[in-house]
Chains A and B, each alone.
Chain A
Amino acid sequence: MTISSQLSADGQELTITIQGRFDFNTHQAFRDAYQSSGSSPRRYVVDLNGATYLDSSALGMLLLLRDHAGSDTADIRLINANPDVRKVLSVSNFEQLFAIA
């Protein structure tokens, strides 16, 4: 598992990219990805293209990010989820909290 983050040139959008299993072991790395950026982006993108698996603690981490980004005013997009990951997100109805593309 690797987690990396990239701030857009204008500093408005932070993209967090997840490779491999997105589970409890990634807790600290995921937190670091949005906390240590030192900036305050307006939008977040979580790129799940390389995520092979996602468990309920990963859902919890997404809620933490949402909380960090302003809860109901958070602008977070989850992109490139594979069908398995997508299924986990939709069983929990996370499309009500995140834009899932």
Chain B
Amino acid sequence: MPRRLSILIAEDGAADRMLLAAIVGRQGHHVVTAANGAEAVALFERERPQLVLMDALMPVMDGFEAARQIKQLAGNELVPIIFLTSLTENEALVRCLEAGGDDFIAKPYNPIILEAKIQAMHRLRRLQATVLEQRDLIGRRNQQLLDEQRAAKAIFDKVAHAGCLNAPNIRYRQSPRALFNGDLLLAAQAPAGRMFVLLGDFTGHGLPAAIGAMPLAETFYGMTAKGYSSNQILREINAKLKLILPVEMFCCATLLDINLGQGILRVWNGGLPDGYLLQAGGERLPLRSGHLPLGVREATVFDDTFETLPLAVGDRLLLLSDGLLESCNADDELFGEQRLLSVIDANSDRTTLFDDIQEALHAFHGQILDDLSLVEVNMIAEDRPVADLSPPSYPLGSKELHPRDWSNRFELRPSSLRMADPLPITMQLLLQISPLRCRIGTIYTVLTELYANAVEHGVLLLDSTIKCGADGFATYYRERQQRLDELVEGFVSIELTVKSEGPSGYLRIGVRDSGPGFDVQQALNQQYCSGRLGGRGLRMIRQLSERFYWEPDGKVLYVEFHWSGHA
């Protein structure tokens, strides 16, 4: 359908100008006219016509210059310029197009051809306008999406950074967009001086991956704080992801359970590339994937077997996402495992390893990449002494001042001793006591020792000396499992008592078992493992608490943790 346009005619010949204005006007278009290029530019600015018919050769300013200026003024909008020309040399016609002309028409004018060209140019105009409109729409939508992602990321960071990613011994590299690339990095201090680190990589990108990351992070931090074991946390995460993720989505992940105090690293890797344990002595041990990724297996067949490795001060742990190995350079080559290993092996000063890897990546790609994750955990000696002998004080808040006076006792009998772990529930209860929160790790350690003693020596009557033999550990735990399976009577009871008056107070933990009791004082004096809880364990309990005492028959052990406020 022909459309009426507003058309600027720039022509210095008065007769030609009037003739052309008459032809174009008769075809129904609105016409404005100019007698030279400068007038044309001024008129264009004022009237903003939609199309320009431009004579090439004019006084004051010729058509070429006027075309250039009009095109500049028009900006992104397409204002077609058709040159009116009696020029016939190819070179002159080329100049018309180079100056920004879109077409030309030769004098004398054929009204039918002229109108056809005007309509053809109009179609181009509309196309250009549509493209611009859509570009702007896409731009706005994209901006909206980025804003939403920023907001989502801010929310997620509150959850993800609840842990200790900023600990001095952790270095990591993750782009702000990592979350929406499906990468996830979590780290938390676990009770008894341990640290859990999880690197995850969801299949897929964008929102679905980010949404899956949320419950994973919450489960990880929540359960870690409550004292659940790494196996229980892993099982829970897997079960949750299996439940919420569609079949084709899963999360490749490595979970590190770092216990530097006992010199033990436990690793579970499902689907991530090899991580590495770089020992202080120079050995490089791979942390290899031995499992299906999280969210694939039903809980009943999920395999939560960890690999156990020795760990010492000075060792480093390195985890990476496959984005690192699969990143391509300009020649479409992959960075690959071999390049990474040669960087690790060429490194002589472990403190620069993280930078060396980053530099190698940068040199390989020539740019910073934003879809890979890399984390290094450095095993540094704990500078905080294990036992803080003076009872800690805590800042006073008015809320903390009301007196507390309660006790709670629960008893585990054979079937529960087999299946249940009472420690997380107990810890949850104790976390409610704010002045004790800063010592919760210590309390966990003590409680673990007391409970293990009551179960293994009190109820199961196991002899610690078994552990001293060559295959001692394995034999001991096999025996423990067997006796537990066959157990028909016996109990362990845990009693918690909390009492506070003003800013001071205490927690007393009493652990009783159904066993025959033992000579605690004698065990304390012994250097090495005896029939009961080793002297080392008892001395540790005494060192970590404010008071440690027992019933004369040795059937109940008590520990107390005290606190006092600043006046």
Contact = CB atoms under 8 A, between A and B. Distances in A.
Interface stretch (B155-163, B257-265, B286-294): B286-294
Interface footprint category on B: 10 to 19
B314 to A, nearest CB: 29
Contacts of A64: 247-248
B234 to A, nearest CB: 15
Contact of A61 (B201, B248, B289): B248
A63 interface: yes
Interface residues of A, number: 14
Contacts of B322: 56
Given A59-B203, A60-B203, A93 B248 contact: no
B252 A92 contact: yes
A60 B289 contact: no
Contacts of A56: 201, 203-204, 252, 322
Interface in A40-62: 56-57, 59-61
A63 B273 contact: no
A93 B292 contact: yes
A96 interface: yes
A56 B204 CA distance: 8
Interface string A4-22: 0000000000000000000
Given A57-B204, A59-B203, A92 B248 contact: no
Given A92-B289, A93-B291, A97-B296, A57 B270 contact: no
Contacts of B292: 92-94, 96-97
B248 A63 contact: yes
Contacts of B272: 91
B33 to A, nearest CB: 56
Interface in B284-313: 289-293, 296
Contacts of B104: none
A61 B246 CA distance: 11
A60 B252 CA distance: 12
Nearest to B252: A92
A60 B250 contact: yes
Contacts of B247: 60, 63-64, 67
A84 to B, nearest CB: 9
Contacts of A96: 292
Interface string B399-414: 0000000000000000
A92 B271 CA distance: 4
B79 interface: no
B270 A93 contact: yes
B249 interface: yes
Given A57-B203, A96-B292, A97-B292, A91 B248 contact: no
Contacts of A61: 248
Interface of B: 201, 203-204, 247-250, 252, 270-273, 289-293, 296, 322
Given A57-B248, A91-B273, A92-B252, 15 more contacts: A56-B204, A59-B203, A59-B250, A60-B203, A60-B247, A60-B250, A61-B248, A67-B247, A91-B289, A92-B292, A92-B293, A93-B289, A93-B290, A94-B292, A96-B292
Top 4 nearest A-B pairs (CB, nearest first) are A60-B248, A92-B271, A56-B203, A67-B247
30 contacts: A56-B203, A56-B204, A56-B322, A57-B203, A57-B204, A57-B248, A59-B250, A60-B204, A60-B247, A60-B248, A60-B249, A61-B248, A63-B250, A64-B247, A64-B248, A91-B271, A91-B272, A91-B273, A91-B289, A92-B252, A92-B270, A92-B271, A92-B289, A92-B293, A93-B271, A93-B290, A93-B292, A94-B292, A96-B292, A97-B296
